[in-house]
Every structure is written in C-alpha cells, then in structure tokens.
Structure 1
Amino acid sequence: MKNQKLITKLNRPMSSWPSILGREGPISNAYRLATQYVNEGKPITAVEVNKVLAFSGISISQDMLNEILSRPRLNFPNLDSSTIKTDKFLQTIGTVRGKIQVPGVYIWTHLVTGDMYVGSSSKLARRLIGYFNNNHKDTGKLIPLIKKEGVGAFNLQVIPLTESYTANQELCLEQYFLLQPKFNLNTLRVVNDYSGARAIPLYMYTKDLSELIYSSNIQEDFIFKLKIHYSFLSNSLKTGGAYLDKYVFTDKPVVGAKESNMSIEDINLMLDKDRFELQKNKGRKVIIKGIEGNKDTIIFDSVSSCVAFLNNIAPSNKSTLRRHIESGKPYNGYLCQWDTTKSDVNSSIIDKSIEVQVTHVPTDATAIYPSFRKAALSFAPDYITTGPTLKVFAENGKLFKGEFKITILKDKK
C-alpha cells in the first residue's frame, strides 16, 4: 500500500498455501479444473468434486455422495404461481419464515430445449419462492428465461438434504452436477455460495481483461500480499476503474483470459515498477502533516492517492485538496502542501518514530504501519476503530476482533 507504506511479510513459502488459505493454490485453479472436467464429459466422482472445492476446505466422501444421489427426488411438473402454495411444496420445502429451513439442491429443466440449471441453498424455501415471485436479480441465463417464458416452461426437481445432513453438503452436491455438461444454463461451473464471510472470490486482470494476474478467495490476500488498499479494490469493483491505470478487479472470472501464473514476488516487483512509473509520469507529490495532536507526516505519489487516503477520514476530492494546498488551510485534520524534494518512490512515510505491526492470526499475513492511527485506518470500512483503541490491544495482548494481533515494533518516545 503506497499511501501507508504497507510492508508485507510472507512468513511461509508458497508450498504452504493450502494450510494458510484452505485451498490448493489460487481460486482460478478451481475454474480451470471445472472447465476441464466439463469439457471431458467423463463420469464425475467425489474425487473431482473435492479437487475443485479444495480452495474452500469443503469436501464429501464417495459413500455419502452415492447415498444422496440414490435418494428419491421431489418432482414439481406443471408449474405455475400456485405451486409454492400446494401441500406438497409446503410440507416438503416449507415457507420463507418457517421455523425449520430445508437445505438441498434444485434442478430446473426447460421443457422445450431440455436445457438444465442446478442450484443449491441452505434455505430452499427462500431460494425457490424467489424464482416464482421474480425476486432474484436478472442475471445469468436462467432468470431472464423464467421472466420471459414463466415457470410453466420448466420442470422443477428438488433433492432435500435433511437426512444425515452436514454443513455445506448442498454445495458439494451442486458442484457434482456443475461438472456435467448437460447443465448448460449455468454460467459458472464452481459453486459461489460458500459458508463464511471471508469467502469472497476476487480477480485481478489487466485493464483489457485479456490476462488474469492474480486471484484469491480471500480479499485480505490483495491487501496484505500485494499492498493494495481496500479503497482501490472497492472502487474498481464498483466503477470498473483501473488501478495504476493498468489493472482492474472483478468478483467473477473472465472466460478466455490468459493466466499469467506469476509468483507473488514477481507480481509485487511488477506493481512496484508500475507505481514508480505512474509517479514519474503523473502529477506532483503531496505531503500532509497532522495537526491537533496528530503528528504524522505522510508523502503521497499523487493527488489521487492522497485523496484516496483522506476519503477514509471524510469525503474528499481533488479540487478541494488543491485549493487547501494553495491556501494553506487544514483539510480533514492535515496541513497539505506540494513536495518539492526528490525523494525515493517507496519512501512514503517520513515520521518513523513508531512502527505498529498488524498480524492476521488465521493466515499469518502481516503488515507494518508508521502509527496506530494508520493501523486503525487500514481496517476501514470493515471495522471502524481508533489508534488509542489499537494501542490498548497492543498493551494487553488481546486479539482485536478476535483475529488481529497488534504489536509495537519500535517506539522512540
């Protein structure tokens, strides 16, 4: 993170990724394997399912897969808006607000073409009723087709998983079906409804989407390993804006994109070079100095990067920042001025009287900040905290939010 000189320490080799991230390599491997299995058209077993889902830590035994596939399935033919009110549906699937929520897998089959779609949910009633009431977003192939032709153009088959159910069993079964070519209404071939808030697939592509640079199922990988601030990730996902004018981030894979297969070290070297070139070719550096008890001084490579930092404190923009630089008036708690010195591109922190280390205990990912204030800002917008609060956690040794260890590395005061 060039704004706050985020220093990433990869304490384990890449061979340790499975134990750190709960998967075998980047999530792109899962899509590569899934595409391979679909194209081969061979019989799918638990082995293939587990290989694809290795990144998520989800798996199923062959015996359990066989047992589930042998169970009777619920068929709902002659569909219409009243189907969800029938005794059969209510007694086997239930209602949205029912005390007992049935998990399972469902299969839509288009009566005319035979095209099929498979999905799963831990709450089948909510998911299926959403199709009948047109509550789902108009994405993919299935939902637009249902809205165009109505549910009556389909047959619905459901596999409830109430017996011998274990967590994520519905995802394993859905993945089993997704690896079969006949489910051609599915646009994604890897399940994307993982349990756990950290399961958020993210991809980094070249600006023209021709090459996949990096992917991960854990957003913190981009922040801690590639030194990319959350605000840049969020902005690119929302607006399609390019990071360093060269890269974009998406939450879905781009079909046909070439994979770079670069190591983390090589990607970081490339990004450092791109940051240097951007600074050299774009704008002037900005120095901001804290006031009212905040003694931090930070140098930014451009007006844009300074505004991105200030936006973590209060809404900011380039024009207002420039006016405050020219007038000498404080802006969001800082005195701002142009940098007239020739400093090293990576020397973004001037005040080095203190260093605060933040370690994400579950992954061993580590970042170092020049102050408790910078460390606190790095958690936004997921967690809103302050420097003094983090200092308390550093002094008492307790984990912040139950998973972040705060340590003072250097304090000359």
Structure 2
Amino acid sequence: MDYYFKGDFPLMGKFLPLLQKDGEKAFKLIIFKLDSNIFSNQDALILEQYHLLNKEFNLNTLRVVNAGSSKGDPVYVYDLTCSTLYYHAKSNIELKRVLKIHTETSKKYVDSKLPYLNKFLLLSYPIPTALTSNLSVDELVDMMQKERRDSYILGTRRSISVELEIKEGNTFVDYRGQILNFDSLTSCIEYLSKLGLTIKRDTLTRYINNEKVFHNFLCKYSNKVLPDNFEEVGLIIDEYKKLKVDTELGLFKVNRKNKPILVKGKIFEKNFESITDTIKFFNTLNIKLDRKTIYLRLKDGKIYKDYYFSYK
C-alpha cells in the first residue's frame, strides 16, 4: 500500500482515482486475524478470493486473487563469516514481513560486499558448510532492531556514502584520476545527471556490487562505512559467488568437508587447510585464483600458472 500513497502509480482503475479525490476517509479498514495454528496461507487466499467475488466490494477490477509466484527469490541471512545461518527467507516479501527488511533494502544488500547493519550478509544462495543458528526469529528481529536504533543514533543508517573514481579516457569530466566523495547514492546520481549521464539507483548499486566501470567512472562504497574486516568479507562473498555457479556442476560435494589441499610447483610444495587459505596465499603472490579454478584443476589435474592442485 505504501506505493499507492507515494503516488508512484498512474490514476487508473477505480481505487486510485477515489483515493486521490476523497482521501483515506472514504475507506474503512477491516483486519482478519487468522490463527496460524488453525489456518494456512492458502486459507487466507481463499478468504481474499471470497471478498473479491463479493459484489459489495465494487472497486476491484481484478476478480482473481494474486497468489504470487510459487517460486520467489530466496534470501539467506548469515553472519559476516558465512559460518552461521540466521534465517532463510523464501522470498523478499517474506524477508520484509518477518525480519522487517524492506524489499528495496534487500536489493541493495543481497550478494553485495556491504554487510547489512554491519553484522549480517544477505545472499541469494545457500552455504552448505554454514551451521543454523539457535536464535529464535523473535531474538533475531530484536537483534536487528537494536542495530537499527544504534545506527539511527549514530546517524549512519539513512544514507551510505560513496566514492566516484574518474578513470582515464573519461569524456564527461577532465580531472582524471581524482576521487569524488558523496554522502549518498542519491547525491552521486544527481551529480552524474548534471553531467548528462542518467543512471538508475538499482543500476548504480549493481555496478558498485560488481565493481563495474561505466563510462570510465568507478563507484564504490566509502571506506568509512565499511567494517574493519571488510576485505575478508569481500573475499568470502567473491568465493561463494563463484561457488553459486559451480554447484550446478556438483563440484562442491567433492570438498564439502573442506579437505586439505596440496599445491606443487617447480620448486614449491605447500599444504593448505582449506580452499580459502589457498586463495588468500595466491593473492599474496598477485595470482588471481578462485574456487571454480581450484575445483576444475582438482578434478582434471591440469596445471595452472605453473602449479598443480590435489587433495592431501
């Protein structure tokens, strides 16, 4: 309903024109409270369908209940190490209904490198090695509400500051190499608009999450809004983004118990306790390595950058 009151929809049908003309006083709200121990979600839909077919309620242009998609976009709520699963929502709507996370907020944080409330990671895929938390839903909601209150007090929740780096070859501005700071995504979008570059908020958020350069601009979240362990969090997310694709190949099952890995080179031999440790080590050598590459090399035994990988 909040979308209707914002005026984001054209005045069509019967309900919206009447709402604009007479306001809320023209309507009355009746709430049916159904005991979840007795009634199911399907029962609620049947009740709604009954009222849609009732001729007394003549503002409905659609007479069939909107049951929604049978398959929503799942959201998994983890801690910052992806070792604990706090909650699994079957859709963004459920996430909003149960944990009070707005759908627009979930779009911003799901599969991003930005921790939600500096305590949680929102992912669109499961982490098989994560353990389910013993926190109840009410306890989790209380925890999130406390973090929201603290964020409001500190003044850090309403907006997320971003940096806009100007890359070589940029034709919109002539001060290349500089980094511009903005106190919010909105102010950054307004700046780009003044340059003649129109970009939607969702699009810019996606570019930030994917570290994508657009028109020789690179936008990213400001370091001051990120937690101290942000680099490690980003590495975890990057790994599992790759893993999300790899699960279709069934490769994760091979190393489900995180078996130690042996890496050999011409004059090099080293044991690693996990794939994460292996990736971190190769990062220190400035060699880009991800889970998919490791799984493939473990499977086919082929060489990668002069190194061989095998289970210990």
Q: Per chain length, whose mean CA-contact separation is higher, i.e. which structure has more relative contact order (CA < 8 Å, sep 6+)? A: 1
| TM-score, normalized by the shorter chain, greater than 0.5 | no
Instruction: Give the alignment's TM-score, normalised by structure 2.
Output: 0.31
Would you tell me which structure has more strand in proportion to its own residues?
1
